[in-house]
Amino acid sequence: MPEGKGIPNIFPPLAKSDWLQSKITESIHAVKYGLRGEINVNGIHYNSSMASLGLTNVEIADVMNYILNSWGNSYNGIITENKVKNVQK
């Protein structure tokens, strides 16, 4: 959703997401390869799937840097193309 709020009980929020900020590698993996199965975001369990978005490593780094610093999230590092490339299936 445009403000990163997700859809309650269906798709987890990116806004103020404890999962996103505490699981950087897993977040990159989800954008790169998709995600299936249960996760817990901000104390709420989600069990759905997200397809791979088909982005390049540079695009994934850009997306990650954007969402890690938007919608109430704050990340002190930077996600590089090389960091994304090193995340394997």
d(CA 67, CA 61): 10
How, if at all, do strands 35-41 and 44-50 pair? antiparallel
Name all domains of the chain by residue range, CATH numbers in brackets: 18-85 (1.10.760.10)
Neighbours of 27 (CB within 10 A): 23
Contact 85, 57 (CB under 8 A): yes
pTM attached to this predicted model: 0.89
pLDDT band at 74 (very low <50, low <70, confident <90, very high): very high
| 1-11 tens-digit pLDDT | 778 999 988 89
| 18-72 tens-digit pLDDT | 999 899 999 999 999 999 999 999 999 999 888 998 999 999 999 999 999 999 9
d(CA 32, CA 49): 13
Q: Which of these, 46, 55, 44, 63, lies nearest to 10 by C-alpha position?
A: 46
Average pLDDT over every residue of 70-80: 94
Residue 19's φ and ψ, nearest 5 degrees, are -65, -45
